[in-house]
Amino acid sequence: MRDCHRELTNWLTEAGAEVKIDAAGNLRAFYPAAQSDAPRLLLGSHIDTVPNAGAFDGVLGVVIALALLEVLENRRLPFAIEVVAFSEEEGVRFGTPFIGSRALAGRVDDELLNREDANRISVRTAIKNFGLNPNEIPRAVLSDDTLAYLEFHIEQGPILESLGRPLGVVEAIAGQTRMEVRFLGRSNHAGTTPMHLRRDALVAAAEWIVAVERAAQHDTGLVATVGRIVARPGATNVIAAEALVTLDVRHKSDDIRGRAVAALLRLAGEIVERRGLSLGQSVLLNQPAVAMDPFLVDQIQEAIRSTGHQPHRMTSGAGHDAMILAEKVPAAMIFLRSPGGISHDPSESVEAEDVAAALQCGLHLLDQLANSTEFQKRMCRA
């Protein structure tokens, strides 16, 4: 992270921005407007990633924002630009995502700061170990003069490639439910227990996993995933007494998502009742769907057309920092095509011409906002 901060700071300083690191570890670079008291537009994404990751998830959005400052060549706009490189979005280390953007939204509380990683190091301690003061995190909150937040990001899916389009505009970010479901049976000897007398938690979980896939295929736009399963006691010759599985359900409609989760839990209940088991469950995340700002969505669509490409309006199935900042300011996202639809993998890639199109889109968008009567009204209100 220090190396990333160092490189970004050098580039951003050369582009005419003043750089600082806030108490949550976010790098923030301020590019001034034509007038010193003008409000600011945020551009950015995250620079953390996942294990066995690719090179573009998150960081591409930061570098595109930086490149836009470079291309401006010290030209001043009616609004300032603040580039944000969020310190943590993926939730890998502490099991909770969006620490960086939650700091800007004023949503970092003691519960979050006290969360621990696998080595029992808390978020608070990690921040201190990095040389920052967690007591100063409230100073990272967005200033009142913030107009909006825009984020460039790879799609992380196959839709734009299937349509042959380099850029898309995000209308909404799907809501997410993440749960742990426990199937509780009874362990016994694998060689001496007849099949009809078993209370096998792992078999019950397996039956439910197949049912999850089948049920999710009946609702357009719904995705449901069991991504992890842990069987206990986990011995080759012992019937599993417990199977812990995760459930991830997403849809742009919170009503559809809620009904789907309820139906899947009913299915689990029917399976354990028939098999003589019991069921436990806990909710890890219940993130509502977030609509992007309609005005900004229309502006992005126009900017994409100005590059000579046809835009595609779409829902993001993945979560992004934009969904957190949308709680505080108007937010919108521009997607770049992901070759092969691959992300969170070393083979993740982008096409150079798509990045060029994204930069052109960004420049058109900045000029459109600078000349927009609606955006000027927003500037006056800020």
Give residue-wise pLDDT tens across range 113-144.
Answer: 999 998 999 999 999 999 999 999 999 999 99
Same domain for 346 and 251, yes or no, is no
What DSSP state is assigned to residue 239? -
**Closest alpha carbon to 33 in 291, 361, 381, 379:** 379
Same domain for 143 and 16, yes or no, is yes
Same domain for 33 and 43, yes or no, is yes
Per-residue model confidence (pLDDT) at position 382: 75
Same domain for 120 and 250, yes or no, is no
Q: What is the DSSP string of 86-122?
A: ES--S-TTTS---HHHHHHTT---HHHHT-B-TTS-B
Per-residue model confidence (pLDDT) at position 274: 97
| Rounded Cα–Cα distance for residues 259 and 264 (Å) | 9
Q: Which tokens go with 378?
A: 């927003």
Per-residue model confidence (pLDDT) at position 376: 87
Same domain for 36 and 138, yes or no, is yes
Is residue 236 scored above 90 in pLDDT? yes
Per-residue model confidence (pLDDT) at position 381: 83
Over residues 156-164, the mean pLDDT reads: 97
Same domain for 155 and 255, yes or no, is no
Neighbours of 69 (CB within 10 A): 21
Same domain for 133 and 24, yes or no, is yes
Per-residue model confidence (pLDDT) at position 96: 84
Out of 205-209, 251-255, 317-321, give the one with best mean pLDDT. Answer: 205-209
Per-residue model confidence (pLDDT) at position 217: 94
Share of residues in the chain with pLDDT > 70 (%): 100
Same domain for 83 and 221, yes or no, is no
Give the CATH number of the domain where residue 333 resides: 3.40.630.10
Over residues 85-97, the mean pLDDT reads: 92
Neighbours of 351 (CB within 10 A): 14
Same domain for 161 and 293, yes or no, is yes
Q: Which of 287, 322, 352 is the endpoint of a domain?
A: 287
Over residues 264-275, the mean pLDDT reads: 98
Same domain for 195 and 245, yes or no, is yes
Confidence grade of residue 12 (pLDDT, cut at 50, 70, 90): very high
Give the CATH number of the domain where residue 192 resides: 3.30.70.360
Over residues 85-101, the mean pLDDT reads: 93
Same domain for 152 and 10, yes or no, is yes
Per-residue model confidence (pLDDT) at position 324: 94
Per-residue model confidence (pLDDT) at position 285: 84
Over residues 17-25, the mean pLDDT reads: 98
User: How many domains would you assign to the chain?
Assistant: 2
Same domain for 34 and 151, yes or no, is yes
Q: Which of 232, 253, 287 is the endpoint of a domain?
A: 287
Mean pLDDT of the chain: 96
Is residue 165 scored above 90 in pLDDT? yes
Per-residue model confidence (pLDDT) at position 158: 96
pLDDT tens digits, residue range 289-302? 999 999 999 999 99
Over residues 320-333, the mean pLDDT reads: 96
* Structural domain for 250, as ranges: 175-287
Q: What is the DSSP string of 121-166?
A: -BHHHHHHHTT--GGGGGGGSPPTTEEEEEEEEE--SSHHHHHT-S
Do 139 and 22 form a contact (C-beta atoms < 8 A)? yes
Q: Which of 287, 308, 339 is the endpoint of a domain?
A: 287
Is residue 380 scored above 90 in pLDDT? no
